[in-house]
Amino acid sequence: MSAARQLFRRKPITAPSENPDGLSRKISAFQLTMFGVGATVGTGVFFVMHEAVPDAGPAVIVAFLLAGLAAGLSALCYAEMASAVPVSGSTYSYAYATLGEIVAMGVAACLLLEYGVSTAAVAVGWSDYVDLLLVNVFGVGIPDALEGGPFEGGIINLPAVVLVMMCAILLIRGTSESAAANTVMVIIKLGVLLGFSAIAFTAFNADNFADFAPNGVTGITAAAGTIFFTFIGLDAVSTAGDEVKDPQKTLPRAIIAALITVIAIYLLVAISALGTQPWQDFSSEDQAEAGLAKILENVVGAAWPGTILAIGAVISIFSVTLVTMYGQTRILFAIGRDGLLPSMFARVHPTLRTPVHTTVVVAIAVGSLAGFIPLDSLWDLVSIGTLVAFIVVSLGVIVLRRTRPDLPRGFRVPGYPVVPIVSIIACLYILSGLHWTTYAWFLGWLAVVLAFYLLWGRRHSKLNGTASGDGADGGADGGAGSTGAAGRGTASPRGGSAS
């Protein structure tokens, strides 16, 4: 096989199946929808709004709509790809099946960046709400030395590390347990956010929207770029392809249901919060940490609403961290199963049916980031990773419609090919608003991952052992994706593996 043919070989598409040595299918449609909501709602309102409002002013509502529109178009493309390629690995697996191996590794770099940084950054924000809760309830907060890393004048952000470790333990314990816990936490968080909006609307003042777009279109675009990373939850839904019941129908339904819920909650909270105070106050020092709780305390003139919101935030951010960590472990699992990472990443515990080794590696890496590295300036890195992933999914729909038009699909993008094309354009537009330093960091990380692939990954790819690794014949259904947990399988005559 020529070098170019090797780099762009495609993984055969297989029908979903239950592997006794692999992950087990235990997640219901409702639980999967809660995964998407859990990984999305929380970050955008508890953290990012106070980053985005100073850029866009009250027009942050438009930024939320712009980000939601791009995410919505991409969600339709995700729904079709998830129904056609119902396996773990999300955009990485979709790119592998449609655009080739080296593109899949480039997408994997985006996914690992967005999941790793967002999980660590959210865990750091969790410690701020824990500190506020302790102060309001017990009158004693977390010592400064244990609430920031060495670059911030402390020793370690201990609450952030503890959160990551608790999520890792829950994920190792089992998928069904994690899904059930996340569902409970998401219901509580939605109740708290609805309560916030109800209280905030009592102090609503339309004059706060007078200076609607102080920084013009540039500010709105910049805010949309910052906000967009919060829609990572839509990608997180598609990482559960190997663990959801009836994936070809459940995955698209859960993606669309999560999107509708997320946009509705974002707009409700943003409008109610902006109505309580001038937009300039969102960048004030007293709202830099646990901002929404401070808003409620200012509205009511007492600490108890802020305490309730802090409790909701602690629970909410726990669910965000849990699901984003879950997504990262399943992406690494899929890459390891394909042979592009060492086989330890694809091992599944025989009793727990979870990738224990992968979860431990992710916990150590993310815990180290959260505990010692300041991440405030890295939000846009998550957005760029998410946007690139969304572009690849939209492009993958177009490619797969042309190369495999007869492939069974549980969902088809309405308005094809307009919707995938507009989705790509919308994502490119939001990308244009990111700072050049974000691109520099992103390209540096991408170069590292692709160098690893060229030097190690391509030599160990499971497709090296197949008679035809490009999947171009349209009938390679044998299933590189149907190997056992540790990648066991033998070459089949049609380019798959006979497990």
Q: Are 221 and 53 in contact (CB under 8 A)?
A: no
Q: Mean pLDDT for each consecutive 10-residue tract of the chain (499 residues)?
A: 83 68 77 86 70 86 86 85 81 91 92 86 83 83 84 86 94 87 88 88 89 88 79 78 80 87 88 88 69 79 78 83 90 92 90 91 93 72 81 92 88 90 88 83 91 93 69 39 38 35
* Among candidate residues 253, 285, 308, 318, the one with its CA nearest the CA of residue 42: 318
* Among candidate residues 396, 483, 461, 446, the one with its CA nearest the CA of residue 83: 396
Neighbours of 493 (CB within 10 A): 10
pLDDT at position 43, please? 64
* Among candidate residues 230, 234, 227, 229, the one with its CA nearest the CA of residue 257: 234
Q: Which residues contact 223 (CB under 8 A, 6 or more apart)?
A: 52, 53, 55, 56, 59, 60, 63
pLDDT at position 385, please? 81
pLDDT at position 474, please? 39
pLDDT at position 352, please? 85
Tokens 């929207």, residue located: 209
CA atoms within 13 A on the CB side of 157: 31
pLDDT at position 44, please? 62
* Among candidate residues 269, 424, 9, the one with its CA nearest the CA of residue 413: 424
Q: Which two tokens stand for residue 494?
A: 């049609």
DSSP character for 290? S
Q: Which two tokens stand for residue 250?
A: 């459940």
pLDDT at position 376, please? 64
Separation CA 339–CA 61 (nearest Å): 44
Q: Are 199 and 300 in contact (CB under 8 A)?
A: yes
Q: Which two tokens stand for residue 209?
A: 């929207």
Tokens 């409790």, residue located: 311
Separation CA 155–CA 144 (nearest Å): 9
Q: Are 181 and 190 in contact (CB under 8 A)?
A: no
Helix axes 175-200, 29-40, angle to 10 degrees: 50
DSSP per residue, 58-99:
GGHHHHHHHHHHHHHHHHHHHHHHHHHS-STTHHHHHHHHHT
Separation CA 371–CA 494 (nearest Å): 48
Enumerate the domain spans of the chain. 28-464
Using CB atoms within 10 A of its CB, is residue 122 exposed (0-12), middle (13-18) or buried (19+)? buried
DSSP per residue, 155-208:
S-BHHHHHHHHHHHHHHHH-HHHHHHHHHHHHHHHHHHHHHHHHHHGGG--GGG
Separation CA 225–CA 435 (nearest Å): 10
Separation CA 91–CA 29 (nearest Å): 20
First to last CA, the chain: 24
Separation CA 333–CA 458 (nearest Å): 17
pLDDT at position 455, please? 93
**pTM as predicted:** 0.80
Into which CATH architecture does domain 28-464 fall? Answer: Up-down Bundle (1.20)
> Hey, which bits of 323-464 come out as E strands?
none
